[in-house]
């Protein structure tokens, strides 16, 4: 199979917003392609194909040697993307071309070819391909695929295609390597499941359900344990003779982003906890943690300014011993003992929250006002650690959202199914304009929370009350009040208003309320914790 | 070239390109006494002229789109047949763009000018193919005059569509395409690829498709696309005007795969901005290679460039020693808007006027 098939897959993925459709496209790739190309393609999509063969400058030089500079400039200016412009404008040499290369050939030949030979090799491949194949090749070898396929999505697709549970695939995923022949052998029933052995692998997390009032009434306080629900990111720490890894909630390897944590993982075991920015024992708001996320390289200033720590709440493996079948109480005792022995830096225990009855629990939840606390976690004392979201074992009980009345300022069209509706809303609050009057200052954006009927109503209102257009954005009459719910308000110097809302969503439309009676910025600032 | 330079007798006026010795306007922008019309697209065929000269097919298309009362006298001119207007000799030659489309060949006192109208060089089973005519001045369109526009073989694009139907057999595949030309070409391409099921058409595409059939172009079974009956359209192909695919009309379909058949779809950002899930690069205009090949074939020492982006083409011509001149005709590049208006489709505002031509 050649890169042409891979190019077809990429093209579909780039334009396909729906998750279900992406799964179908990936399943077709697994079913229709042969080894090792299908595994190389899988690795390229999920970012585990570990090679960066060419810099964009090499491609730029190649095309400059073959095109007129004026035509190139006009074309690049029109298309806007270097790889795509090259793919479209590339003038093939006349005469016979190589057959389009397979992914395997591309990977192998790039590894064998000395640097000086790369331009000729890549030029010959570009000659052999059509524009879509050229684009795939360039993106592949310069490392810029970006088609919205996460490792998690790929594993769900593998599960849907093969019929194996996704948890079973998660368990081996980080123990297998591109081109994943052992994985496909197992998924197609030719061999037993690969043994992850000592490799540091991700174990699927145990997840909580939101607690509904009806479930709350039925709780037996004696059978449940409570902890604070921290507003950080859930992580799994895996360390031992096979190596150290930090996994995100979905099983992405985020070790490089938090080197200070990796360094502190001087133990053998698998732990579950919340990654937070912690200064002198105090947890910083989520906005600060956000500064650290998604970075491949972390500067010394970042490490010093935003020190990461992990607040631990569960233990999956103690050494090589699988503790997941034990009860929560037993694991908690093991975790406390583990931490007392290992005393890892940058880690502490998420304290148990004592309570005597349901009333007290409810009061605790309502009293939770610290920005770093989202509410309470309730865990059944006898629950084993099981993968996924099993109902009735763990509950998350977020504190009630706060709401504020805002004025709609701008609206933008949504994506995919919602692309013909104005579904993204920028809203604002009143503040003094410095001249004795009042002005509206933008405080956030909401894209959710409304019903279909409310969306249709908003869309109509926006079209009928537009005062200006900027590309896809409409500015509207400052006349519509919306009730917006949010989980927390945090100080932010990236926003003009000085405040950032956590998870704002539309709670209600308030066409009945005059815009002048919407809330003021100072009201919101009082909620910053 | 013998005789006076065509610049002296073929002029750009506010009403459009005007051949003075014949008092004849080519695709005029406003009502004139005498017009020759290259083809039926709305930015070329406008109402109100006293006398209209065109191929019989173009006249039939104009009657249907604009009404028989929109013109005075109509004169059909068969392709290749010369007609004397004063001392100007005029001929229509197939342009390969849509049914009835023609280039206009004008000869006066020994000089020959060919006005291409819109044209393409890919074979199209729904209309006669483009014939290059050697000339002294070639007036060419330039809709896709950048080297990044390279239209792939349409068969490969249709294969993508058919493959998508097997991958998503439950989803309705709705394809945005213009009412005149593109719709019928898609039908013909589907039939050539062996697709035999009825193709469902948005109401705005029905009349011209029926007219093509009347004019002898067989397109296979078609059926109205009634969005009220979602179930019947599951896994079906639906053709609709480009303005309708982004509209609520299309969202009533069963989980639609939204496709758009247009030369602009070769550029990802264009496809993304239209919210298209399956871009199909199928165009009724010449791409960069075809524009340049055609200009070389007609061997004109001078080329006037209209209808699009002239800068790149004029530059490329200069490198080959051909004198290029940008011809600024107002009123072109509104084909989408005018088409939608002419067909009475609601929601024409969506999508904006960014695509000058089908
Ligand atoms: Zn046209
Ligand atoms: Zn046109």
**CA distance, residue B148 to nearest chain A CA (Å):** 5
pLDDT at B109: 95
User: For A187-233, what is each residue's pLDDT tens digit?
Assistant: 999 988 887 766 788 888 999 988 877 788 888 989 999 999 998 99
Separation in Å, CA of A77 to nearest CA in chain B = 11
Q: Is the pLDDT of residue A242 over 80?
A: no
SS3 B185: helix
Decide: B110 and B3 in contact? Cβ < 8 Å.
yes
Task: Tell me what pLDDT residue B341 has.
Answer: 32
Q: What is the mean pLDDT of residues A84-106?
A: 92
Reported as a single tens digit per residue, the pLDDT across B182-207 is: 999 999 999 999 999 999 999 999 99
Query: Per DSSP, what are the bridge partners of residue B107?
Result: B89, B112
| Cα(A397)–Cα(A380) distance, integer angstroms | 14
Determine the Cα–Cα distance for residues A519 and A516; give it in Å rounded to an integer: 8
pLDDT-based confidence at residue B358 (cuts at 50, 70, 90): very low
Indicate whether A162 pLDDT > 50: yes
The ligand whose atoms approach the alpha carbon of B95 most closely is 1
Query: Over the stretch B36-74, which tens digit does the pLDDT of each residue have?
Result: 999 999 999 999 999 999 999 999 999 999 998 999 999
User: Residue B357's pLDDT is what?
Assistant: 43
Q: Which two tokens stand for residue A170?
A: 């998660």
Class for the domain spanning A402-527: mainly beta
Phi, psi of B235 (to 5 degrees): 70, 10
Report CA dihedral (A166, A170, A175, A176) to the nearest 10 degrees. 40
The average pLDDT across A300-305 equals: 92
Q: How confident is the model at residue B354 (pLDDT cuts 50, 70, 90)?
A: very low
Q: Which residue in this structure is represented by tokens 């989803």?
A: B171
User: What's the gap in Å between B291 CA and the centre of ligand 1?
Assistant: 15
Neighbours of B211 (CB within 10 A): 20
Is residue A416 pLDDT above 90, yes or no? no
Interface residues from chain B to A (CB-CB < 8 Å): 146-150, 152, 160, 164, 167-168, 246-248, 251, 266-269, 271-272, 275-279, 309, 311-312, 315-316, 319, 350
Residues having C-beta closer than 5 Å to ion ligand 1? B 41, 118
- What's the CA-to-centroid distance between B180 and ligand 1, angstroms? 9
Predicted local distance difference test score (pLDDT) of residue B183: 98
Test mutation, B144, B145, B147, chain A, max A CBs within 10 A: B147
Beta strands in A115-223 (DSSP E): 209-210
Smallest-distance ligand from the CA of B329: 2
Mean pLDDT of chain A: 89
Give exposure, A120-157, as e/b (b: 16+ Cβ within 10 Å).
ebbbebbbbbbbbbbbbbbbbbbbebebebebbbbbbb
Q: How confident is the model at residue B340, as a pLDDT?
A: 32
pLDDT digits (tens, 9 = 90+) for A17-42: 899 999 999 999 999 999 999 999 99
**Å from CA of B123 to ligand 2 middle:** 19
ipTM confidence: 0.91
What pLDDT does residue B310 have? 86
| Percent share of chain A, pLDDT over 90 | 55
Q: Please tell me the total number of residues recorded for chain A in this structure.
A: 529
Tell me, what's the pLDDT at B331? 55
What is the distance between the alpha carbons of residues A256 and A245, in angstroms, rounded to a whole number?
Answer: 9
Q: Please answer yes or no on whether B276 and A416 come within 8 Å at the CB atom.
A: no
3-state SS assignment for residue B106: strand
Closest-CA residue of chain B to A17 = B277
Torsion of the alpha carbons at B263, B266, B269 and B271, rounded to the nearest 10: 60
Q: List CB contacts (< 8 A) between A84 and chain B.
A: 267-268
Query: Residue A79: closest CA among chain B residues belongs to which residue?
Result: B267
Whole-angstrom distance, CA of residue A372 vs CA of residue B11: 74
Q: Is the pLDDT of residue B335 over 50?
A: no
Whole-number pLDDT of residue A197: 67
Residue A318, helix vs strand vs coil: strand
State residue B344's pLDDT score. 30
- What's the confidence (pLDDT) of residue A177? 85
How many angstroms separate the alpha carbon of residue B103 from the centre of ligand 2? 12
Measure B174 CA to nearest chain A CA, in Å.
14
How many Cβ pairs closer than 8 A exist between chain A and B?
A: 74
- CA B241 to ligand 1 centroid distance, Å: 15
State the pLDDT at residue A369.
64
Which residue of B167, B248, B268 is in closest CB contact with A28? Answer: B167
* Of A270, A121, A286, A275, residue with least CA distance to A203: A270
Ligand number nearest CA of B180 is: 1
Catalytic amino acids of A?
229
Average pLDDT, chain B: 89
Percent of chain A scoring above 70 in pLDDT: 97
Q: What is the pLDDT of residue B353?
A: 29
pLDDT band at B346 (very low <50, low <70, confident <90, very high): very low
Interface with chain B: mutation pick from A63, A71, A464, A471, highest number of B CBs within 10 Å: A71
Name the residue in chain B with its Cα closest to that of A414: B275
Q: How far is the CA of B42 from the centre of ligand 1 (A)?
A: 8
pLDDT at B345 over 50: no
Phi, psi of A68 (to 5 degrees): -70, 135
Residue A529: pLDDT band (50, 70, 90) is: low
Residue A473 vs residue B212, higher pLDDT: B212
CATH fold of the domain at A206-398: D-amino Acid Aminotransferase; Chain A, domain 1 (3.30.470)
| CB proximity list for B21: less than 8 A, separation 6 or greater | B9, B86, B87, B88, B108
CA–CA separation, B318 and A68 (whole Å): 12
- Interface test mutation site (partner A, options B275, B281, B318, max chain A beta carbons within 10 A): B275
Contact assignment for B312 to A70 by CB distance below 8 Å: yes
Q: For chain A, which residues lie within 8 Å of any Cβ of chain B, measuring from their own Cβ? A: 8, 12, 14-17, 21, 24-25, 28, 67-68, 70-71, 74-75, 78-81, 84-85, 88-89, 91, 130-131, 415-417, 419-420
DSSP letters spanning B68-111: GGG-SEEEE--TT--EEETTEEEEEEE-SSSTT-EEEEEEETTE
CA distances from A165 to A25, A39, A388 (A): 19, 19, 11
Q: Give residue B337's pLDDT.
A: 29
Residue found under tokens 């022995």:
A341
pLDDT digits (tens, 9 = 90+) for A319-371: 989 999 999 999 999 999 999 999 999 999 999 999 988 888 888 887 776 76
The average pLDDT across B119-137 equals 97
Residue-level pLDDT at A339: 95
The span from the first CA to the last CA of chain B, in angstroms, equals 35
Listing DSSP states for A463-525 in one string gives HHTEEEEETTEEEE-TT-EEEEEESEEEE-SSSTTSEEEES-EEEEEETTS-GGGS-BHHHHH
Element (H, E) at B258: strand B257-261
Please report how the helices A56-64 and A118-128 are oriented relative to each other, as an axis angle in degrees rounded to 10: 70
pLDDT at B266 over 50: yes
Joined tokens for residue A235: 């992580």
Examine the pLDDT at A463 and tell me if it is beyond 80: yes
Please indicate whether residue B306 or residue A48 has the higher confidence score (pLDDT): B306
* End-to-end C-alpha distance for chain A, whole angstroms: 58
Fold assignment, A3-142: DNA ligase i, domain 1 (1.10.3260)
Confidence check: pLDDT of B232 > 90: no
Q: How close, in Å, is residue B276 to chain A by CA atoms? A: 7
Q: Who among A28, A71, A420 is closest to B312 (CB)?
A: A71
pLDDT digits (tens, 9 = 90+) for B2-46: 678 999 999 999 999 999 999 999 999 999 999 999 999 999 999
**Closest ligand (CA of B41):** 1
Instruction: Say what the pLDDT of residue A56 is.
Output: 87
Contact predicate A145/A243, CB 8 Å: no
Annotated domain spans of chain A = 3-142, 206-398, 402-527
Question: Both tokens of residue B267?
Answer: 């550029």
**Does residue A292 contact residue A259 with C-beta atoms inside 8 Å?**
no
Give B43 Cα–ligand 1 centroid separation in angstroms. 7
Write the residue in A17, A74, A415 that is nearest to B146 by C-beta.
Answer: A74
In chain A, the residue whose alpha carbon lies closest to the alpha carbon of B166 is A28
CA atoms of A331 and A323, how far apart (whole Å): 7
Sign of dihedral through CA atoms B199, B202, B205, B210? positive
Residues, chain B: 358
What is the model's pTM? 0.71
């Amino acid at each position: 199979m050649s890169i042409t098939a891979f190019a077809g897959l990429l093209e579909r993925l780039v334009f396909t917003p729906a998750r279900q459709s992406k799964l179908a496209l990936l399943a077709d790739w697994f079913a229709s392609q042969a080894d090792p190309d299908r595994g190389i393609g899988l690795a390229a999509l999920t970012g585990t194909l570990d090679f960066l063969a060419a810099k964009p400058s090499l491609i730029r030089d190649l095309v400059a040697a073959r095109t007129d500079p004026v035509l190139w400039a006009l074309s690049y200016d029109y298309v806007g993307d270097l790889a795509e412009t090259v793919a479209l404008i590339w003038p093939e040499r006349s005469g016979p071309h190589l057959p389009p290369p397979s992914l395997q050939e591309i990977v192998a030949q790039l590894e064998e070819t000395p640097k000086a030979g790369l331009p000729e090799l890549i030029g010959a491949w570009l000659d052999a391909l059509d524009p879509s194949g050229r684009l795939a090749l360039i993106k592949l070898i310069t490392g810029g695929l970006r088609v919205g396929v996460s490792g998690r999505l790929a594993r769900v697709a593998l599960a849907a295609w093969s019929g194996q549970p996704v948890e079973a695939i998660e368990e081996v995923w980080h123990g297998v390597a591109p081109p994943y022949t052992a994985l496909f052998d197992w998924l197609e029933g030719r061999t037993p499941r690969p043994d992850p052995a000592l490799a540091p692998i991700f174990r699927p997390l145990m997840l909580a359900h939101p607690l509904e009032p009806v479930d709350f009434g039925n709780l037996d306080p004696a059978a449940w344990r409570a902890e604070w629900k921290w507003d950080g990111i859930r992580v799994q720490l895996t360390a031992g003779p096979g190596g150290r890894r930090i996994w995100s909630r979905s099983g992405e390897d985020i070790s490089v982003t938090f080197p200070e944590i990796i360094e502190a993982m001087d133990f053998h075991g698998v732990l579950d906890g919340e990654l937070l920015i912690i200064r002198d024992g105090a947890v910083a708001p989520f906005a600060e943690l956000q500064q650290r996320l998604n970075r491949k390289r972390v500067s010394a200033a970042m490490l010093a300014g935003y020190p990461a720590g992990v607040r631990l709440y569960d233990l999956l493996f103690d050494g090589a011993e699988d503790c997941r079948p034990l009860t929560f109480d037993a694991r908690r005792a093991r975790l406390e003992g583990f931490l007392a022995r290992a005393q890892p830096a940058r880690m502490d225990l998420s304290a148990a929250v004592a309570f005597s009855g349901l009333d007290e629990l409810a009061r605790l939840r309502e009293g939770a006002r610290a920005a770093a606390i989202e509410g309470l976690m309730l865990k059944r004392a006898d629950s084993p650690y099981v993968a996924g979201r099993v109902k009735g074992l763990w509950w998350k009980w977020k504190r009630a959202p706060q709401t504020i009345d805002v004025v709609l300022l701008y609206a933008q069209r949504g994506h995919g199914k919602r692309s013909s509706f104005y579904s993204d809303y920028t809203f604002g609050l009143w503040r003094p304009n410095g001249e004795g009057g009042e002005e509206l200052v933008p405080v956030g954006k909401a894209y959710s929370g409304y019903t279909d009927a409310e969306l249709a109503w908003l869309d109509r209102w926006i079209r009928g009350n537009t005062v200006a257009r900027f590309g896809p954005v409409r500015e509207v009459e400052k006349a519509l009040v919306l009730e917006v719910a949010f989980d927390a308000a945090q100080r932010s110097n990236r926003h003009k208003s000085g405040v950032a809302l956590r998870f704002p969503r539309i709670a209600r439309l308030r066409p009945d309320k005059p815009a002048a009676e919407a809330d003021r910025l100072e009201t919101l600032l009082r909620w910053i914790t | 070239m013998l005789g006076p330079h065509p610049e002296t007798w073929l002029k750009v006026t506010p009403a459009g390109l005007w051949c003075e010795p014949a008092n004849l306007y080519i695709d005029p922008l406003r009502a004139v006494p005498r017009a020759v019309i290259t083809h039926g697209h709305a930015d070329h065929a406008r109402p109100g002229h006293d006398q209209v000269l065109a191929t019989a097919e173009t006249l039939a298309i104009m009657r249907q789109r604009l009404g028989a009362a929109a013109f005075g006298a109509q004169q059909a001119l068969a392709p290749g047949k010369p007609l004397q207007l004063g001392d100007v000799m005029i001929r229509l030659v197939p342009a390969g763009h849509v049914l009835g489309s023609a280039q206009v060949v004008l000869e006066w006192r020994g000089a020959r000018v060919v006005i291409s109208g819109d044209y393409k060089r890919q074979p199209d089973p729904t209309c006669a193919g483009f014939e290059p005519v050697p000339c002294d001045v070639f007036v060419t369109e330039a809709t896709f005059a950048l080297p990044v526009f390279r239209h792939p073989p349409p068969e490969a694009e249709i294969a993508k569509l058919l493959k998508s139907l097997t991958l998503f057999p439950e989803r309705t595949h709705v394809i945005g395409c213009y009412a005149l030309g593109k719709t019928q070409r898609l039908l013909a391409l589907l039939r050539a690829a062996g697709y035999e099921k009825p193709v469902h058409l948005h109401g705005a595409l029905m009349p011209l498709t029926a007219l093509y059939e009347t004019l002898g172009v067989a397109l296979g079974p078609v059926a109205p696309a009634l969005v009220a009956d979602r179930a019947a359209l599951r896994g079906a192909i639906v053709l609709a005007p480009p303005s309708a695919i982004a509209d609520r009309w299309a969202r009533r379909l069963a989980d639609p795969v939204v496709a758009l058949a247009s030369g602009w779809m070769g550029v990802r950002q264009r496809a993304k901005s239209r919210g298209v899930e399956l871009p199909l690069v199928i165009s009724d205009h010449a791409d960069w290679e075809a524009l340049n090949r055609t200009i070389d074939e007609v061997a004109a020492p001078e080329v006037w460039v209209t209808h699009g982006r002239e800068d790149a083409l004029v530059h490329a011509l200069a490198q080959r020693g051909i004198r290029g001149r940008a011809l600024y005709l107002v009123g072109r590049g509104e084909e989408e808007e005018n088409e939608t208006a002419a067909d009475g489709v609601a929601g024409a505002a969506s999508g904006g006027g960014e695509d000058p031509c089908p």
